């Protein structure tokens, strides 16, 4: 579907998650001859951005705490099986950005448990800003 339509759905979805009932939302409608997508003969459009909610980050961190880093397939199954827009890779990418922004020692072996202290810091930093 058209990018702006997806964006609109995004906003509505977010408002619903925030408990709103009768909000009106809108997004700028691009001019009709707008160019988009890769070079050419490709049908797939880039997925619209979905900022992770605090709850999602918490779910991600808690699950990585339980399984260790690297088992994204399992993380998806355990904590994000109810949403189709969070792929195992998205979870991996999110974890990496969290590690970067919170300066958590990243060189951990696959499956190695993360110290609770570090996990807590991730949540704090992400919750505040």
Partner DNA sequence: ATTAGGG
Partner DNA sequence: CCCTAAT
Smallest gap from residue 96 Cβ to DNA (A): 8
Q: Quote the CA–CA distance of 86 and 4 in Å, as a whole number.
A: 20
Count of beta carbons in the 10 Å neighbourhood of residue 70: 16
Tokens 């009106």 label which residue?
24
Q: By C-alpha distance, which of 48, 52, 70, 59 is closest to 1?
A: 48
Nearest approach in angstroms of CB 127 to DNA is: 19
Exposed/middle/buried for residue 128 (C-beta within 10 Å: 0-12, 13-18, 19+)? exposed
In the bound state with DNA, the residue whose beta carbon lies nearer, of 31 and 81, is: 81
**Contact footprint for DNA (CB under 7 A):** 38, 42, 44, 46-50, 69-74, 85, 87-90, 92-93, 110
- Cβ 102 vs Cβ 122: under 8 Å: yes
Nearer to DNA, 21 or 35 (CB): 35
Q: Which is nearer to DNA, 32 or 39 (CB)?
A: 39
Nearer to DNA, 21 or 118 (CB): 118
């Amino acid at each position: 579907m058209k990018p702006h339509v997806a964006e609109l759905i995004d906003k509505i979805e977010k408002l619903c998650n925030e408990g709103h009932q009768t909000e009106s939302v809108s997004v700028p409608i691009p001019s009709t001859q707008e160019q988009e997508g890769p070079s050419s003969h490709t049908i797939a459009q880039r997925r619209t951005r979905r900022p992770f909610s605090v709850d999602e980050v918490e779910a991600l961190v808690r699950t990585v705490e339980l399984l260790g880093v690297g088992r994204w397939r399992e993380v998806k199954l355990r904590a994000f099986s109810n949403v189709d827009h969070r792929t195992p890779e998205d979870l991996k990418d999110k974890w990496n950005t969290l590690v970067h922004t919170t300066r958590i020692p990243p060189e951990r072996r696959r499956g190695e448990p993360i110290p609770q202290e570090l996990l807590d810091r991730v949540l704090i930093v992400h919750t505040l800003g």
